[in-house]
Structure 1
Amino acid sequence: MDILQIVGLALIAVFLILTVKSQSPLLALLISLLTGVILFAFLVPPVRLILEEIEKLALQANVDLKLVGTILKIITIAYIAEFGAQLVRDSGEAGLASKIEFGGKILILVLAIPVVRVVIDTILQVMMRGGAG
């Protein structure tokens, strides 16, 4: 799906939402949510391609795939939390959307601990080599 299809689908959804909103706000909300889910589903294959390319690059650079996997999980959590929060915010629940974002941030911090550990270990190793020379 290219950007024209994404925008086209969104514009059709907006037209439908504006048409039915005054008579059926619930239907308008359902159209909005369904459109968001459809767009998300259409974007899964390109995201999969991106993840495969990142994995290939990591293998070429001899980077630990476990570390790359953790970073990709962090990115995935960020995108899903943002997407979920936007859907909930569109339904008028800004407070709940904020809680989704907060939950995403906490999960990201938990996953980031090993990454931070590797970065600190690498810095310490570089400093030790520099001091020994």
Structure 2
Amino acid sequence: MEILQVVGFAFAALFMAQTLKHNRSDIALLISTAAGIIIFLFVISKLTIVISFLQTIANKANIDVVYLDIIFKILAIAYLASFCSEVCKDAGEGSIASKVEFAGKILILTLAMPILMGVMQTILKML
């Protein structure tokens, strides 16, 4: 199972980071960040399977590709903002982490506007 590889790698990185944290906190942070990036890159290959599946379903349901692209961008922003926020928190910078989360929420809201407008137009047509 692939999750066992991820968990094993994460525990190895955690052990190294915790061992170095008291003597060399800068290297411990680099290990933690590198481990997060490696895990992210490992998982992103699995994400392509999900994206192609969703595109197939959208094509069968005659959903406009523009909306699906917007949803994928929103998901990417959410995951990247969350990842960056966690790295900032690991580095002890909670205030920067909260700013990244806020920026992610604003960007998501901005991207969601066409979808919200489409829903509003559909509701107005029904009335």
- Fold in common (TM above 0.5): yes
CA-CA distance at 1:82 after TM superposition: 0.5
CA-CA distance at 1:52 after TM superposition: 1.0
Paired with 1:57 and 1:18, the residues of 2 have a C-alpha distance of 44
1:36-75 alignment to 2 at 5 Å?
36-75=36-75
CA-CA distance at 1:18 after TM superposition: 1.8
Q: Deviation per CA, 1:99-132, whole angstroms, max 9, x where unpaired?
A: 11011011001101100011111112223xxxxx
For 2:33, the equivalent position in structure 1 comes to: 33
CA-CA distance at 1:75 after TM superposition: 1.3
Paired with 1:78 and 1:98, the residues of 2 have a C-alpha distance of 13
For 1:106, the equivalent position in structure 2 comes to: 106
For 1:5, the equivalent position in structure 2 comes to: 5
Question: Which amino acid in the other structure matches residue 69 of structure 1?
Answer: D
Question: Which amino acid in the other structure matches residue 32 of structure 1?
Answer: S
Give aligned pairs, total: 127
Paired with 1:30 and 1:123, the residues of 2 have a C-alpha distance of 50
Q: Deviation per CA, 1:6-56, whole angstroms, max 9, x where unpaired?
A: 111110011111222222111111110110010111111111111111111
For 2:76, the equivalent position in structure 1 comes to: 76
Between stretches 118-127 and 99-108, larger displacement belongs to 118-127
Question: Which amino acid in the other structure matches residue 103 of structure 2?
Answer: G
Question: Which amino acid in the other structure matches residue 19 of structure 1?
Answer: T
Which aligned segments of 4 or more residues in structure 1 are displaced greater than 4 angstroms? none
CA-CA distance at 1:66 after TM superposition: 0.4
Pair member with larger Rg: 1
Paired with 1:76 and 1:122, the residues of 2 have a C-alpha distance of 27
Q: CA RMSD in A?
A: 1.1
Gaps of 5+ in 2: none
CA-CA distance at 1:67 after TM superposition: 0.8
